[in-house]
Amino acid sequence: MATFWAAVFVFGLLVLFHELGHFSVAKAAGIKVHEFSLGFGPKLVGVLRGGTAYNLRLLPLGGFVRMAGMDPEDDEAGVGEKFGDKTVLQRMAVIAAGPVMNFVLAWMLLSISLFSLGGDPVADSTFIKDLSPGLPAQQSGLRAGDQIIAIEGQKVTGWQELTSAIRQRPGWETDIVVLRDGRQLQYQLTPPTDANGHGIIGVYPVREPISPLVALTNGAKLTGRFVYGIIAYIGQMITGRAPVELGGPVRMVGEINRAVDSGVLFLLQLAAFLSVNLGLFNLFPIPALDGSRLVFLGFEGLRGRPVDPARENYIHLVGFGVLLLLVAVVTYNDILQMFIKKSSFP
């Protein structure tokens, strides 16, 4: 049950911020907004305020902001209140605001979870404060309170040095020496590859409090590294240097379940990573996504007149159908992989 509510919280937060970006910039531009909804399907609850219906719908698989003029047959708004009445740059700002808000959300979550609440790693410490369940450090027997003193025979004296050594060994068996109760213990483990292509073993450092300004700065830098890492990994998949791995809702819920076991801070960090993914995915020039709408608007700006609205809507409709099919295939693959893992022998 904890996983269910955590998943509702994470998905709801990601969708809320994304749609809030579209909504707030549309309002600022003077566009009439008919509806702001979280979820799809039948309406569960709703309220009408200022000419906008705020609804919560049955299927928590996304959300939408229905603006005046997005439907060519919409005649419920006055002159100057429709989406198409605004300049190309204003409309591009409305569309881009959704993904941008996902990056802002990631920045806020990382600033809070890793820095404001968690603090900054003590630079000259290599003590383990906590371990992530299911990752090599915990599985191999390392414990909170252990001090990592050597990796692959090389002495480590600071956390940055430690993480740098681990990041360089994804998929490689690694010797780690720790100091526990005055005794040296040696472990062999293999760091898996994280979303940025780095090795990770699931250990967390002792941290010290930092100022809010430094927390925001560090959160922004880490968000930027997330964006760069995901783009680089996508490039590697396209060029065949990395396996093609797509995860759907089932896999995300599985990751949320692991994060719940690790604590609230880990859940917030996972939500930040998923928010960056959502922001980037929506910027892809795929019909029905924000990136495709930006391409159409850019084309309109270059040639001085819009694409036929009926034709554009048809393209987006077809793209939406393809996306639904892709989600179905990825979800099937996630479920299949889950059953394969459960039925395989250790």
Q: Report yes or no: 117 and 309 within 8 Å, Cβ to Cβ.
A: no
Q: Report yes or no: 283 and 99 within 8 Å, Cβ to Cβ.
A: yes
Q: How far is CA 216 from the centre of its chain?
A: 18
Q: Report yes or no: 29 and 90 within 8 Å, Cβ to Cβ.
A: yes
Q: Which residues does residue 45 pair with via DSSP β-bridges, in sequence order?
A: 56
Dist CA 290 CA 293 (whole Å): 5
Active-site hit among 19, 245, 300, 312: 19
Is 300 part of the annotated catalytic residue set? no
Look at residues 279, 260, 280 and name the one whose alpha carbon lies nearest to residue 270: 260
Q: If you ran DSSP here, which 8-state letter would residue 125 be given? A: -
Look at residues 289, 295, 280 and name the one whose alpha carbon lies nearest to residue 326: 289
Q: If you ran DSSP here, which 8-state letter would residue 60 be given? A: E
Opening angle at CA 145, ends 139 and 146, nearest 5: 65
Residues assigned a catalytic role: 19
